[in-house]
Amino acid sequence: MQPTGVWALTPPAEISEAEFRDWQRLLEQRAGMVLGEQQRRFLQNSLSARMRELSVGDYASYYRCVTDGPRGAVEWSHLLDRLTVQETSFFRHPPSFELLCRYLQGRLAERSPARPWAFWSVGCASGEEPYSLAITAMEVLRGETANAAERFGVTATDISLNALEKVRQGLYPPRRLERLDEALRDRYFSAQADGHFRVLPSLAERVCSARLNVLDLAKAPMSGMDIIFCQNLLIYFRRWRRREILNRLAERLAPGGLLVIGVGEVVGWQHPDLQPVADPQVLAFTRKG
């Protein structure tokens, strides 16, 4: 084994054509992720960084580490944390949240206290999206009822365990809140001594997180969702897979429920039970009935 300093200076070994194809196949089969020629260097650097940590000398041996039995499943999970893009922000696509706000206001009258609104953030990354959903719900319900927080729940799912841990912590450095309205920041976060902001427990307890690969949606227990947000996730998948995932999500919507996708993430998709929302700034559908 080489000393750490030498490892750090050694450039990653070139991945062979056959090895690259094996990794491409594995990532697409297991996570839907399509890595093209442009991502070859990214893959090579990510694999070698992890291989260096484990002192694994070549790509084929590391491939075996990832695919071999229960221990392989743990290593697969570490690798996914490196390969998935987890870029996100609070209220990332403002028109989608404005639509949500209008939609919830429109449903206030028919809201039943016995049935809290069910939200789902699919591919929730480090939590900014599910917490933005929770804040929107709180803002809409706040003037209506004394116990607004009990009137909704958010399920946040992702394939990355590292991302889900961040959701659970609900702790964000100040730059992540820079674009958040100051009044919302003061209402829903507490400033920590080190400058970070923590989501208030009353909001955090409305958000539950779980690991879910969107390729396994058929096995997921979610149903009767009032709101599903699936943004900036489908872009990493092939077109046929995006449609399949959307078909599965459509089945999980309650009658009248709202599905919000990232603008441009799917073109020409339709579902017999859904109708598109007439707003050119968003890509969203409501379930008939």
Ligand X SMILES: C[S@@+](CC[C@H](N)C(=O)[O-])C[C@H]1O[C@@H](n2cnc3c(N)ncnc32)[C@H](O)[C@@H]1O
Q: Which stretch binds ligand X (CB under 6 A): 56-64, 107-115, 153-161, 280-288?
A: 153-161
Is 233 among the residues that bind ligand X (CB under 6 A)? Answer: yes
Please tell me the count of residues contacting ligand X according to CB under 6 A. Answer: 21
Is 209 among the residues that bind ligand X (CB under 6 A)? Answer: no
Q: Which stretch binds ligand X (CB under 6 A): 55-63, 108-116, 171-179, 209-217?
A: 209-217
- Burial class (CB within 10 angstroms; exposed 0-12, middle 13-18, buried 19+) of 5: exposed
56 vs 123 by CB, closer to ligand X: 123
Minimum separation from the CB atom of position 45 to ligand X (A): 18
Segment 59 to 88, residues that bind ligand X, using CB under 6 A: 84-88
Is 136 among the residues that bind ligand X (CB under 6 A)? Answer: no
92 vs 271 by CB, closer to ligand X: 92
111 vs 285 by CB, closer to ligand X: 285
Is 159 among the residues that bind ligand X (CB under 6 A)? Answer: yes
Minimum separation from the CB atom of position 259 to ligand X (A): 13
Minimum separation from the CB atom of position 186 to ligand X (A): 23
Write out 140-179 in H/E/C secondary structure: HHHCCCCCHHHHEEEEEEECCHHHHHHHHHCEECHHHHCC
Q: Which stretch binds ligand X (CB under 6 A): 105-113, 141-149, 166-174, 213-221?
A: 213-221
Q: Which of 213, 247, 251, 263 binds ligand X (CB under 6 A)?
A: 213
27 vs 65 by CB, closer to ligand X: 27
Is 129 among the residues that bind ligand X (CB under 6 A)? Answer: yes
Minimum separation from the CB atom of position 24 to ligand X (A): 15
- Burial class (CB within 10 angstroms; exposed 0-12, middle 13-18, buried 19+) of 219: exposed
Minimum separation from the CB atom of position 214 to ligand X (A): 4
Q: Which stretch binds ligand X (CB under 6 A): 55-63, 177-185, 230-238, 274-282?
A: 230-238
CA distance 13 to 251: 46
Minimum separation from the CB atom of position 96 to ligand X (A): 9
Beta pairing partners, 261: 230, 283
44 vs 84 by CB, closer to ligand X: 84
Segment 2 to 41, residues that bind ligand X, using CB under 6 A: 31-32
Where does this chain bind ligand X (CB under 6 A)? Answer: 31-32, 84-88, 92, 123, 125, 129, 158-160, 163, 213-215, 231-233
